[in-house]
Amino acid sequence: MAKNDSGKWVSRAAATGGGRSYRSQRPTNYYLALTLVVVLGLLSIAISRHSYRNTSTTATGVQPAIGRTWYAGYAISVCGTEQPSLAANTSSTTGQTTTGDGVVKITPTAKENAGKNATVGKFVTAYSGFSVSQASITIPGTSAKTLKTGDVCPSGTPDAGKKGVVTVAYWPTVASKSPKDVTADYANTRWAQNSLVTFSFAPQGAKPTRPGSTTISAMLKAGSGAPTTTAITSITVPASTLPGSTATPSSSPMTTAPVTTSSKP
């Protein structure tokens, strides 16, 4: 082969990326493997991200979660007079009970009662004899009564003689100064930690009052797990029962210091 012909052949081979034998030796498998690694990598990232989001939602979703305990306070007011708190109930189908002092204990045990489903309405429906709607309010107890929108406030109340309506006021926190009127949708209003609710029958436009300081104090104490203090004023111990004593029995009491016992609600 002439020198010039050889140079032309090399030039043509370079321009076409090599001869047939060279093209047949291209690392096709390498490129396929590289592509597969990239695809699998992207797929694993997508799966991990999806899994993380689902786990996050389950673990840190809307509170209160199953196994969590929250406390809130409520009051029932009739024409400006706060009514006695509902009697304590130890169990309910919604995981919401009351301790008997105006405090609601919220302990969801199923997803139907947790998170956004831990509503004020479920507390009302779970308490036997208690019902609230825009049309009427029924207050259970020894003197159970039902007041309907348009009825006249009973005598002995500050608003006696005035026509009343049912309202439900909601304070998201203890620090909230102004309540929200949730009458129309109170059943779907979610409790918040240390939130407050007042169920009222009062004249149209009357300003709702928050649950009293006794209820708020009990609610905050229940949430903090503060110990209760039982004061023992005196214990009478006969002197003759004390070890090594030769004194004659006496009726004089021996006073001890108050005893503090720790108990969580």
pLDDT at residue number 144: 83
Quote the tokens at residue 94. Answer: 């919604």
Integer Cα distance of 186 and 233 in angstroms: 47
Non-local CB neighbours of 207 within 8 Å, separated by 6+ positions: none
Whole-prediction pTM value?
A: 0.63
pLDDT at residue number 101: 94
Report which residue type is found at 150.
Answer: G
3-state secondary structure of 58: helix
pLDDT at residue number 204: 95
Quote the tokens at residue 43. Answer: 């797929």
Name the stretches of the chain with pLDDT < 50: 22, 51-60, 227-243, 245-265
**DSSP category for residue 248:** P
pLDDT at residue number 202: 97
Q: How far apart are the first and last CA of the chain?
A: 103
pLDDT at residue number 96: 95
CB-based contact 103:218 (threshold 8 Å): yes
CB-based contact 49:41 (threshold 8 Å): no
How is 165-180 classified by DSSP, letter by letter?
Answer: EEEEEEESSTT--S-E
pLDDT at residue number 232: 33
pLDDT at residue number 208: 93
pLDDT at residue number 227: 47
pLDDT at residue number 258: 46
How is 150-204 classified by DSSP, letter by letter?
Answer: TPBPPTTSTTTTSBEEEEEEEESSTT--S-EE-GGGGGGPBP-TT-EEEEEEEET
- 3-state SS of the chain: helix, strand, coil percent to 5? 30, 20, 45
3-state secondary structure of 104: strand
pLDDT at residue number 71: 97
3-state secondary structure of 28: helix
Q: What Å distances lie between residue 28 and 13, 31, 33, 46, 87, CA to CA?
A: 20, 5, 9, 27, 80
